[in-house]
Amino acid sequence: MREQLDQGKQVLYMLPEIALTTQIIERLRKHFSSAIGVFHSRLTPAARRKVWKKVSEGSLRAVLGVRSSLFLPFSDLGLIIVDEEHDSSYKQYDPAPRYHARDAGMMLARIHGGRVLLGSATPSLESYHNALSGRYGFVELLTRYGEVMMPEMVIADTRRGGKKRGPSARFSPLLLEAMEEALKREEQVILFQNRRGFSPFLMCSDCGHVPACTNCSVSYTYHKSINRLVCHYCGKSVRPPSECPDCGSVNISTMGFGTERIEEEIRLLFPSARVARMDQDTVRNRGAASDILSSFAAGETDILIGTQMISKGLDFERLTVVGILDADNMMHFPDFRAHERSFQLMEQVSGRAGRRTRRGKVIIQTADPANMVLRQVLKHDYRSMSSAQLEERALFGYPPFTRIIRIALKHRDLDELSASAARLADTLRRHLGNRVLGPEFPMVMQVQKWYIKTVMIKIDSTLSPSKVKELVRRTMESELKYPRKGLLRIHADVDPQ
């Protein structure tokens, strides 16, 4: 950065989460005398316009921002830094344009004749493969900054000890003991649960009925603090039923656990501890994320509970214990990237522990302790993970050895949707053969009363991506013109995450 700024060039430093900007901007301003702007959606419109104007005029030469900062009017961009480049938050899904900020950054740097620096302790397999094949340069740090020891990694087998009830039911004895010891030493704890809300769903204990959103094919999540059932897809909320609408039973139970439930139970187990929660529900207001993290960094919070936003790039001097409460949910997610992502997420969360003079401890709760991902995480063995996954992806034809285009079709009438999706897939299959998969329903087959089907295309090295994209464009346009009842929506996502 200093080299580029000294040459009068502009620098863009990108982060995957707005919450990370507070810590990073403090560090950057300690090292650089020149002004550094911050750009993201949580700023006021006036603040964003001010940064835009200064970048356009060339008076602001360094910007720290999230993916939207790519679209600032840079005139002489010399360097783009993509920190935590593996993070899926860099991918824009809805609304369009659908793009990956890392890849768009590559194109932007090429336009300006600048360079791109991708940073990650757990690189995406696409970037790592590009480095191994010589497309990217590769620099590796083999030890932690400042020679800090790697944290002690411990597996807590949740199959042992039988079924427990009460506030301690979700916490292994190993984790509770480590938390107690840390708090006695006036150290800090992070508990990671990648699911917000109090309970993922309610269930009738007598007949098994689960309240589900009437707009979407997904169950409501229970939020106890507002006593509402909330759909995390369309936002609809309703009061929880006092009795089962199917059988009339009043025996309705909360099932599973989210960050809100963890917070409640931790407050009961550690009544003298200062506890905070960081997830999408607690950081909605401007400045809330910064306040939570600043309080934790200042030692004003003892236990921080959160979703994946607490896993990324944060540095806390007194944090020594990290608990991963449900590793199984990540490892067994039905996606070809599940192995890679669960490794990345657990490795990133564990990296928060013991950042300075104290050695940290990471406790991973799982009912599948023999899982290969866990063995690799315990050894911090990125090479083994990446090697095995690249071999598997090559065998089954997944990125980085192919590129994927996913076409989503939406219609309010299921029969009309099925006909359109089948017709589109058949047209593409006549040109591309078995490289076309589907149509099929995604995991959530209806959102806001729109049914959804998807068609996937794998583009291997024998095909021209530009020609396939043109074929997809023509086929989509033709299908939209086909006579039908009601409105059909189609969009294509290149390199979906």
Locate the domains of the chain by residue range.
2-119, 146-390, 403-494
Q: What is the pTM of this model?
A: 0.89
Contact 24, 65 (CB under 8 A): no
Write 128-132 long-range contacts (CB < 8 A, 24+): 128/386, 128/390, 129/390, 129/400, 130/400
Measured between alpha carbons, how far is residue 428 from residues 218, 396, 462, 469, 491 in Å? 30, 21, 16, 11, 15
Residue-wise pLDDT tens digits, 45-77: 999 999 999 999 989 999 999 999 999 999 999
Measured between alpha carbons, how far is residue 469 from residues 292, 455, 456, 492 in Å? 44, 14, 12, 9
At 161 the pLDDT is: 61
At 363, give phi and psi (nearest 5°).
-115, 120
The domain over range 403-494 is classified in CATH as 2.120.10.30? no
If 0-12 CB within 10 Å is exposed, 13-18 middle and 19+ buried, where does residue 411 land? buried
Ordered alpha helix ranges (H), 229-308: 259-269, 288-297
User: CA 39, CA 63: separation in Å to the nearest integer?
Assistant: 7
Establish whether domains 2-119 and 146-390 are of one fold.
Answer: yes
User: CA 233, CA 214: separation in Å to the nearest integer?
Assistant: 11
Ordered alpha helix ranges (H), 239-381: 259-269, 288-297, 327-331, 338-350, 372-378
At 316 the pLDDT is: 81
Residue-wise pLDDT tens digits, 159-172: 876 566 666 778 99
354 bridge partner residues: none
Q: Which residue in 493, 481, 487, 492 sits closest to 411, CA to CA?
A: 487
At 256 the pLDDT is: 85
If 0-12 CB within 10 Å is exposed, 13-18 middle and 19+ buried, where does residue 47 land? middle
At 99 the pLDDT is: 95
Contact 120, 85 (CB under 8 A): yes
**Is there a cis peptide before residue 442, judged by omega within 30 degrees of 0?**
no
116 bridge partner residues: 80
- Annotation: CATH topology of 2-119: Rossmann fold (3.40.50)
**230 Cβ contact partners less than 8 Å away, ≥ 6 residues apart:** 197, 220, 221, 222, 223, 236, 237
493 bridge partner residues: 406
Ordered alpha helix ranges (H), 351-464: 372-378, 382-396, 414-432
User: CA 134, CA 129: separation in Å to the nearest integer?
Assistant: 9
Q: Which residue has the tokens 């656990």?
A: 257
At 297 the pLDDT is: 86
- 311 is written with which tokens? 């896993």
Decide the pairing of beta strands 62-65 and 36-39. parallel
If 0-12 CB within 10 Å is exposed, 13-18 middle and 19+ buried, where does residue 441 land? middle
Letter for the amino acid at 75?
S
At 341, give phi and psi (nearest 5°).
-70, -40
At 147 the pLDDT is: 64
Pick out the chain residues at pLDDT < 50. Answer: none
Q: Which residue in 431, 471, 436, 433 sits closest to 456, CA to CA?
A: 436
At 308 the pLDDT is: 83
User: CA 254, CA 146: separation in Å to the nearest integer?
Assistant: 46
The domain over range 146-390 is classified in CATH as 3.30.930.10? no
Q: Which residue in 290, 285, 340, 283 sits closest to 314, CA to CA?
A: 290
